[in-house]
Structure 1
Amino acid sequence: MLLSEIATRLGLEHIGPDREILGVNTLESAAESELSFLVNPKYVKALESTNAGAVLLSSEHAPLVESALLSNNVYMDLARVVSLFAKSQGDFAGHSPLAFIHETASVHEDATVYPFAFVGSKAVVGADSVVFPGCYVGERSSVGEGCLLYPNAVLMADTTLGDRCILQPGAVLGGDGFGFAQTPVGHMKIPQIGRVDLGDDVEVGANSSIDRAALDLTQVGSGTKVDSLVQIGHNVRIGEHCLVVAGSGIGGSTRIGDGVVIGGQAGIKDNITIGDGCMIGAQSGVNNDLSAGSKVTYTPMMEIGTYLRVGASLPRLPDLLKRVRRLEREIEQLRTTENGENNG
């Protein structure tokens, strides 16, 4: 489409010659028929050598290019631009006769169910949702409107998705929580009979797992995004618009507020509370409650300012150790001298 058309559709200002745009690419790889972008100012020198036909950038960098789309939030508008060119996965439509749809299930006529998908008894699949091959939608589960269940995503019984949710391949919702009672003869399994509930616009990454509650509810709030290979334990409650990055694990019954960011491979203890707006650094080990707005990192976790001071002091530790040992020897010599004088 024309650059001017993109500007009109997204409500952005267009400067310079109009160009036909066939796609989006990086400054380094873009061709004359492609739109590129400048999100991080440290790459501004790449504007001098790029072959891109136009660049999405902030107004302060506009004089450096011939054609541009001007944005006050380049990263957000980049997502909007890419959406114009993105091709959806799959090209099947309708309800495949090779899928199993239970006679008591309710699948909207505008939903798509691929071959070899399973939709169980009393399950619901809403309008414009897509269920790819290998997906399992368990009994009494509910899939809202406009959801995408990519291949091999699993909704065990009594799992609910809001509207426009995305489950990446291999995501498992509603598997049993890790509940066992220790007995003299071994570990006795505690039946997990609760539910999983996702709000609207939630995305769950590939091979992530959200366990069903032991008795009540495991919940993920609207707008929250869960990366790949994340484990969310039973009875966890996660608020709205949180980010949970790959490899993280959240212990059972923990409460997480709104707008929380959890870095990759962070481990969060069970039965604690994380306040609104907290930021937890990668590989942090969180073992106690965090008040709203806390910023922590490291294992064991510490306040981020403390962590930065600790990190800055690490290169000086060898010299500091030498100084301490020297001071210890001097103190010992003073004590010896003082004892000698007192005895004299």
Structure 2
Amino acid sequence: PNRIINQTNGITPRRWLYSCNPALRGLINDTIGTKWHTDLEQLQDLNAHIDDAGFQEAFRAAKSANKNRMAAWLKDRNGVTLDTSAMFDIQIKRIHEYKRQHMNILETIALWNEIRDNPTADWTPRVKVFGGKAAPGYALAKLIIHLINDVAATINNDPVTRDKLQIVYPENYNVSMAEILIPASDLSEQISTAGKEASGTGNMKLSLNGSPTIGTLDGANVEIRDHVGHDNFFLFGLTAAEADAQRADHGYARRAIEASPRLSRVLGQIAAGVFSGGDRYRYSDILHNLYENDYFLVSCDFDNYFAKQREVDAVYSDVTRWTRMAAANTAGMGWFSSDRTISGYAQDIWNAHSVT
């Protein structure tokens, strides 16, 4: 107990806001001064302004500039045209079953079904953005990437839904791409199975740039939620203890799927080859994993995740409320500076002192 000491990860504000987000940097400088990037806790001073109509308008303008920059980048790079008035819903991270990119794309298919069933309803338009790489030998992760892109090819070419739902997966995700995507994000997807993420820093970068999180109580999500305020975080899913209990219940995955007409329909469409040109076997490994194993509990969290996403839709349509949530995320992220992490190492572990 006296030798093993936790220091929560941090991120450098110089790269992950000051450099990559000049629009928001300018607004913060004009609002609270210019010293915050070496003392990130000063961001809490933004809380005095987040209910001000002028500040909210300027905050939205900064986000809009970043979304326009990302759209222009994707148009030039991939020939993709984005609706910048839509919600930019972003999940960027290494592809892994526990990070549950496959739950995200399954929910996207379910949303597509709902829109097709009722196309005249008042849907919140979304651009779903995926970014990340899989380990060379991780066959199931690479199959998940294939599924995302097959689903994108179908949904993006559907005349009924393409003005309400779009999927993009820009290849070769790296830091330079992240510096464009993160400032443009409206919604941060942090949906890993509770108990499986040691910490994580992508969630910190997105929140710092004014992107509320939809996520589980996993890794640094727990601390982010505490710092930005529980009302400014879209929480869903099993806790780590509940996840462990669920795994002890034999046959839980198949029962959860059978109890969810929405998820059963999605998996049936994949099995029928709807997204693979009629190939009924292309994604059989994913389907077998979900029905027979599903260690990462996609089946058990799916309905709760879908319902929480519809809450996100409702809040996003309330421009003032959403802007306040987004600004509160930026204001609450001062504790997550790497400066604080390094200072913690120095004081609590190394017994080192600053020379300044």
Report TM bin, short chain.
under 0.3
TM-score, scaled to structure 2: 0.21
Point out the structure with the larger helix share. 2
Point out the structure with the larger strand share. 1
